[in-house]
Structure formats: C-alpha cells, structure tokens
Structure 1
Amino acid sequence: MDIIPKYEKQSLSDMVVSYVKNRILSGALKGGDRLIETDISSHFNISRAPVREAMRILNEQGLIAFSPRKGNHVIEMGPTEIMEVFEIRTSLETQILRKILRKQMIEEAHLHRLTEIAIEMKDGEQRCQNEEDRVFLFNTMDLAFHKYIWQLSGSVRRAQILESLFYQLLLAMNEDLSSLGILELKSEEHLAFVEVLRENELSAVVHAFHTHIRNYVRATLPDEEQYFCLDC
C-alpha cells in the first residue's frame, strides 16, 4: 500500500507544488537537485505553463531557486544558513506556544488530536513498503503535529512562515536521513510533549520544545550545535 497520496481535486499548478513537496517529505529531493519542467509536465501529461507557475510559487516559499547554469533547482544551504532557519523556526514557534498557553487556548480535544497524530507516526509504519514511505510517513506526521499547534494559535502569518521553514529544514536533513531519528522514539518524544502541554506550565513547555529542536540541530549540525541560539 503506497502511503504517498494521489493528486486529485487541485489546480494543475497546486498539483505540481504538492508533488514537489511530497518528494521533499519522502526524502527523494535534496539540496541542489534539478527540477526539469519538461520532465514534470510529461509526468503529469500537462503543459509547461502550470509547471512554471508552480516553480514560481515554490521559489516564493524559499524551496527552489533558479540559476542560468542549473535552471530550477532545490535550494542549497550551508551550515550557517541551516542554523539560521533552525533559530527562526524556534523563535516563531516559541511565540506561538507562549500565546496558546497564556490565552488558555488548549482544550482536551486538541490534546487528543495531537496524541492521535503522534501515535500514527509509529503505528503507520506497518503500511510502509519501503524507506521512502517510512520517511514520508514520519515527516508528514511531524508536520501535521506542529502545524496543528500553529493553526490552533490563530496566527496565520506565523503558520505560513513556519511551514516554509519546515520544508527548508527537511531539505537539509534529507542529506542524511538518519538525522530524522527512529519512528518509535520520535513518536514517544511527541507524546511526551503532549503531556507537557497538558500540565499547562509555560516554562516547562518552552523548555521541552527547545530540547526537541536542539535534538534535530545536534543530528543535523553536530559541529555547530554549541552555537545554536535559542533567544536570537
């Protein structure tokens, strides 16, 4: 059973955007990989116009770039740029967590939904046929977990920025898929975070989230982790 979704009920350009993002989620696309418009248009049997529009959208979201030598290609980031994205994500998501807790916006139903997502991160592995499916499952559930929190805050602009940053960080981690961690352990880590949220103690929630992100920084940039700035 292929867990990667089909592309239905979308505009042609949105379909191409989803296709590229799903290849990032599955680990198939890495920094510097070329995106050839003719190949994508042939894959979907569509004209190049919606493919070009999709490339424009992905460029605006900071996921692809264009150069005369390589054409459209997935962005490449060095350690300094990757660290900056980690720091920006940490800052914005911390703001969201503080807003949610200070305004008492989390209800038991929200915690239940987050628990379901974290459990699916582990239980869905039985449907995976290969490593690409497994990576896609983990990243999709990870995004769903954090996106649920972002949207719960009602902060639309932060949520939009954070989603783009999430994909940018995935491109960095796709260089070494072991940096994503083990499904069962990551599921437990997310479940533990739900329990911290349930306690509704702001300092504990922020500390747990910072530890969560630092684990990814350590796996992705082990030589630079000591310079990770939580309050930049």
Structure 2
Amino acid sequence: MIAQTSYQTESLKDVAVNYLTEKILTGEYKPNEKINEVQVANELGISRAPIREGIKELSSQGLVKQIPRKGTYVVELTEKDIKEIYQIRLSLESCIIDKIVDNDKLNEKDFDFLESKIELMEEIANSDDDFNTKKIKINSEDIKFHKYIWEKADSPRRLEILFDLHLQLQMAMLFDTEMTGDLKNTAETHKGIVKYLRAGDAKNAKAALVEHIEMYKMN
C-alpha cells in the first residue's frame, strides 16, 4: 500500500491520476493493457471512487480509453497519432516563439533556467543509469523546458491546448526515444532554441524547434 502522507496535500483523485500517469509513462502499464481498478485501489489504500474519477480525467487527456462493459485500457498511439500530435505542437509552439520574441518575454533569469534544464538533460544522458531510467528522466526535463516557454508567452488559449495535449506528447516522445535511442542528441537539440531566442531571432528559433521535434520522427 502506498504511504498515505501524500494525501495531506493532494486530493485522492489527484493521487490516483499521478499514480496511474507514472505507471503509464514509465512503461509499467503497456499500451492496450487493462487497468484493474480494484488492484489500483488496493495498492493506494483508497476506495474505487477516486480511481474512477482519475481514470475519467486521464481519458479526457488521451492516456486511457474507456470501453463500455469491457473496462479501461492504456492508449496505444499509432504513427498517425504521433505525427498529428507533433504537428499540432509545432504549430502552436511556433506561434509562441513569435509572441515571445516580438514582445521580449524572456530575460536573463529565464535563459539561465532553460540552460539549467539542458545541462541537467546532458548530465542524465551521461549518467550510469539504465537507458529506460535516463529516457524517463530526460523526457520529464524536456517537457519542463518547453512548458516554461509556453507559460512565458502569455497566450492562455494556446497554453490550454498544449497542457491538454502534453501527456500524449510525453507518451509519444517516450515511444520515439525508445526507437531512436539518442538521448544525448535529445538534450543537444535544445541549445539552438535557447541560442536564437536569446538573440531575438524567431525564424531560426523556430527552425531549431523543427530540428528538435523532427528527432521524434515527425516525418
């Protein structure tokens, strides 16, 4: 049973959401695997009601699918799904870069933060951890890097769409990193984005973003 101290700061539904999300994104729950609500409730030491609420939220975010009279299953993303996710992300994040550069939204403190994320990704890539652990850690820092940029743009509607999509994006990135195996290049491709944002060069910052996303086989 999971220690219940975390419940002091999180609702039971949030505990369920975070627990299931971690299981899915770490690959412990495989695509098309059925989620056993009773088992999850027993593991967390809570009732099934917040588990069902959590599953409903994850269904709306595209991580699981609920099939009437059959149960809940982890989503399996097709190549078409992944391509669409990346295309949506590229379109929105390109607009965000324009907005950031046009309105001078980033200062030196912001660049320091973004560069610290890149350094951390490089440290993880060069660590002695096993590949799966490094992949998951780098993916987490990758998303933090881009979320920071999204939030700085002051574009609430784009932000809402990207946040709704980000769990599917993480799933797609983890799948493709597993295929390419190039963790060092994942970290490296962020440098161009920061370089051109710092220079106020939106055109090349967007080109660097395309290069970064194309790592994940968007084409």
- TM-score, length basis structure 2: 0.86
CA distance in 1, matches of 2:20, 2:122: 25
Change (3 A) 1:33 1:50: same
Q: Give the equivalent residue in structure 2 for 1:12.
A: 12
Letter in 2 for 1:57: E
Conserved 8 A contact 2:136-2:174: no
Conserved 8 A contact 1:173-1:179: no
Note the aligned Cα RMSD (angstroms).
Answer: 2.4
Matches within 5 A, 1:1-232: 7=6, 9-68=9-68, 70-124=70-124, 129-175=129-175, 177-179=177-179, 181-217=181-217, 225=219
CA distance in 2, matches of 1:182, 1:173: 12
User: Sequence identity, in percent?
Assistant: 33
The alpha-carbon deviation at position 188 of structure 1 amounts to 1.9
Change (3 A) 1:193 1:28: farther
The alpha-carbon deviation at position 140 of structure 1 amounts to 0.7
Conserved 8 A contact 1:30-1:172: no
Give structure 2 stretches of 5+ with no counterpart: none
Matched residues, number: 214
The alpha-carbon deviation at position 79 of structure 1 amounts to 2.4
2:34 aligned counterpart, secondary structure: coil
Letter in 2 for 1:85: I
Give structure 1 stretches of 5+ with no counterpart: 1-5, 219-224, 226-232
CA distance in 1, matches of 2:184, 2:176: 19
CA distance in 1, matches of 2:180, 2:170: 9
Change (3 A) 1:72 1:45: same
CA distance in 2, matches of 1:25, 1:31: 10
2:41 aligned counterpart, secondary structure: helix
Q: Which structure is richer in relative contact order (CA contacts within 8 A, separation 6 or more)?
A: 1
1:216 aligned counterpart, secondary structure: coil
Change (3 A) 1:34 1:157: farther
The alpha-carbon deviation at position 113 of structure 1 amounts to 0.2
Change (3 A) 1:119 1:185: same
- TM-score, length basis structure 1: 0.82
CA distance in 2, matches of 1:68, 1:53: 16
